[in-house]
C-alpha cells in the first residue's frame, strides 16, 4: 500500500485539478474545498488512504477495490470516500465522465463536526449508490452549480458550497446503497499482502524524529478498515504466524540494526520504535531475545 495521500499529494498527481492554485485552507481559513470534472484528473487511483473526504459522481465503468472485497461499477454511481477507508479505482471504459469534490472535515464545521455520523461516511457503512437518470441529472446539476460557484467572487460562496454538499449527502441517504460486492479470490492473501506492505513501509527508522505509528494488530486493522479478528485470521491462515508475531519480529529486527549501526542511546531507540518509556522497550526486547538491548550492543561492538 502506498503512503497516505494528502491534499498536496493529490494536486501534485493531478496538476490540472487546481488551475487557480487554491490554498489548502481556502474556505475562509477553516478547511479546504474544491470541485472539478473527472475528465481533468488522473483516472486510475492506487490503493491507499486519503486525508480528505471525497464525493464522486462516476459516469463510466470501472472497478472499486477495498481490502477484502470489490465491485464492478457498470452504471452511473455516487461514491463517498473518507480518510478511514483505503480504496483503489481501476477504470474499465475509455470514457470516464462525471464530477467530484473533495474537502477536509473542518470545511463542514462547526455544523457537522463529526462526518462519521452520516451513513455514507461511517466506518463499515455503505459508500456506493447507483443512480437513475433523474437522480443523475439532479446531482450533476448540483456539481455544475459548485463548479460555477468555486470561481465566483461571491463573499459567501463557501457557505453556499457547503449547502450543495449537504444536498448531495442527503440525496444519497434517501437511496438504497449497493451491497452486492464480490469477495477477492483470495481475500486472506490480499489482506496479508496489504498488512505486510503496511508494516514494512514503516522501516527503516532513519531519524530520531520518526516514531512508529502502527504498533498493534488493532492499529493495522483500523488502517485497513477491517475488523481486527478478520486481519488476525487472514494473516495466520496465510503465514502461519500471528499478526502480533510479525509486528514484534519486525520491531526486534529494526532494534538490532539500530543497536549495531547507530550511535543512539537506548532511550532514543525505544522512542523511535514507539515505546513510551525505555523500560517498556527493555522488557519487550528481553521477552523476544532473552537478552537486554545494552548487553546485545556490547556483544556487537
Separation CA 33–CA 102 (nearest Å): 6
Averaged pLDDT for residues 155-169: 93
* pLDDT value for 77: 97
Round the average pLDDT of the chain to a whole number and report it.
87
Strand 33-37 with 87-91, pairing: unpaired
Neighbours of 157 (CB within 10 A): 18
Lowest mean pLDDT among 27-36, 81-90, 124-133, 252-261: 27-36
Query: Does pLDDT of 223 surpass 70?
Result: yes
For residue 118, the 8-state DSSP code is S
Q: Name the more confident of 16 and 54.
A: 54
Residue in 52, 161, 54, 30 with CA at minimum distance from that of residue 107: 30
Query: Does pLDDT of 263 surpass 60?
Result: yes
Query: Does pLDDT of 188 surpass 70?
Result: yes
* pLDDT value for 266: 95
Q: Give the burial string for 97-128 (b: 16+ CB within 10 Å, else e).
A: ebbbbbbbbebbeeebeebeebebbbeeebbb
40: Cβ–Cβ under 8 A, 6 or more apart, which residues? 14, 16, 17
Residue with cell 477484502: 68
Residue in 123, 141, 122, 119 with CA at minimum distance from that of residue 57: 141
**284 φ/ψ angles, rounded to the nearest 5 degrees:** -65, -45
* pLDDT value for 20: 58
If DSSP codes are grouped into helix, strand and coil, which group holds residue 176? coil
Query: Does pLDDT of 113 surpass 70?
Result: no
Residue in 44, 48, 47, 83 with CA at minimum distance from that of residue 60: 44
pTM (2 d.p.) = 0.71
- Which residues share a beta bridge with 100? 36, 56
Separation CA 80–CA 53 (nearest Å): 8
Residue in 294, 297, 255, 253 with CA at minimum distance from that of residue 273: 255
* DSSP secondary structure, 240-293, as one string: SS-HHHHHHHHHHHHHHHHHHH----HHHHHHHTT-SSHHHHHHHHHHHHSS-H
Q: What angle do CA 65, 115, 202 make, to 5 degrees?
A: 55
209: Cβ–Cβ under 8 A, 6 or more apart, which residues? none
* pLDDT value for 49: 84
Q: Name the more confident of 121 and 111.
A: 121
For the chain, which domains are there?
7-182 (2.60.120), 185-300 (1.10.10.60)
Q: Name the more confident of 4 and 32.
A: 32
Amino acid at each position: 500500500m502506498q503512503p497516505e495521500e494528502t491534499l498536496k499529494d493529490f494536486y501534485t498527481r493531478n496538476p490540472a485539478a487546481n488551475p487557480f492554485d487554491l490554498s489548502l485552507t481556502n474556505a475562509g481559513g477553516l478547511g479546504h474545498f474544491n470541485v472539478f470534472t473527472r475528465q481533468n484528473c488522473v483516472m486510475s487511483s492506487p490503493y491507499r488512504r486519503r486525508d480528505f473526504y471525497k464525493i464522486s459522481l462516476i459516469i463510466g465503468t470501472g472497478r472499486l477495490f477495498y481490502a477484502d472485497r470489490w465491485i464492478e461499477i457498470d452504471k452511473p454511481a455516487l461514491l463517498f470516500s473518507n480518510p478511514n477507508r483505503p480504496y483503489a479505482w481501476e477504470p474499465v471504459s475509455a470514457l470516464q465522465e462525471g464530477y467530484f469534490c473533495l474537502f477536509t472535515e473542518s470545511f463542514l464545521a462547526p455544523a457537522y463536526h463529526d462526518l462519521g455520523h452520516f451513513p455514507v461516511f461511517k466506518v463499515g457503512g455503505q459508500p456506493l449508490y447507483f443512480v437513475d437518470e433523474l437522480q443523475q441529472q439532479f446531482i450533476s446539476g448540483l456539481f455544475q452549480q459548485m463548479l460555477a460557484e468555486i470561481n465566483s467572487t461571491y463573499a459567501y460562496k463557501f457557505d453556499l458550497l457547503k449547502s450543495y454538499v449537504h444536498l448531495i449527502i442527503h440525496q444519497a441517504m434517501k437511496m438504497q446503497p449497493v451491497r452486492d460486492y464480490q469477495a477477492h479470490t483470495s481475500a486472506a492473501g490480499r489482506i496479508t499482502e496489504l498488512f505486510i506492505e503496511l508494516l514494512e513501509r514503516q522501516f527503516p527508522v532513519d531519524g530520531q524524529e520518526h516514531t512508529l505509528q502502527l504498533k498493534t494488530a488493532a492499529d493495522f486493522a483500523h488502517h485497513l478498515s477491517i475488523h481486527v479478528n478478520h486481519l488476525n485470521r487472514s494473516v495466520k491462515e496465510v503465514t502461519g504466524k500471528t499478526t502480533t508475531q510479525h509486528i514484534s519480529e519486525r520491531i526486534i529486527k529494526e532494534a538490532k540494526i539500530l543497536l549495531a549501526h547507530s550511535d543512539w542511546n537506548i532511550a532514543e531507540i525505544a522512542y523511535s520504535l514507539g515505546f513510551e518509556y525505555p523500560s517498556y522497550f527493555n522488557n519487550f526486547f528481553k521477552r523476544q531475545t532473552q537478552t537486554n538491548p545494552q548487553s546485545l550492543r556490547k556483544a556487537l561492538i
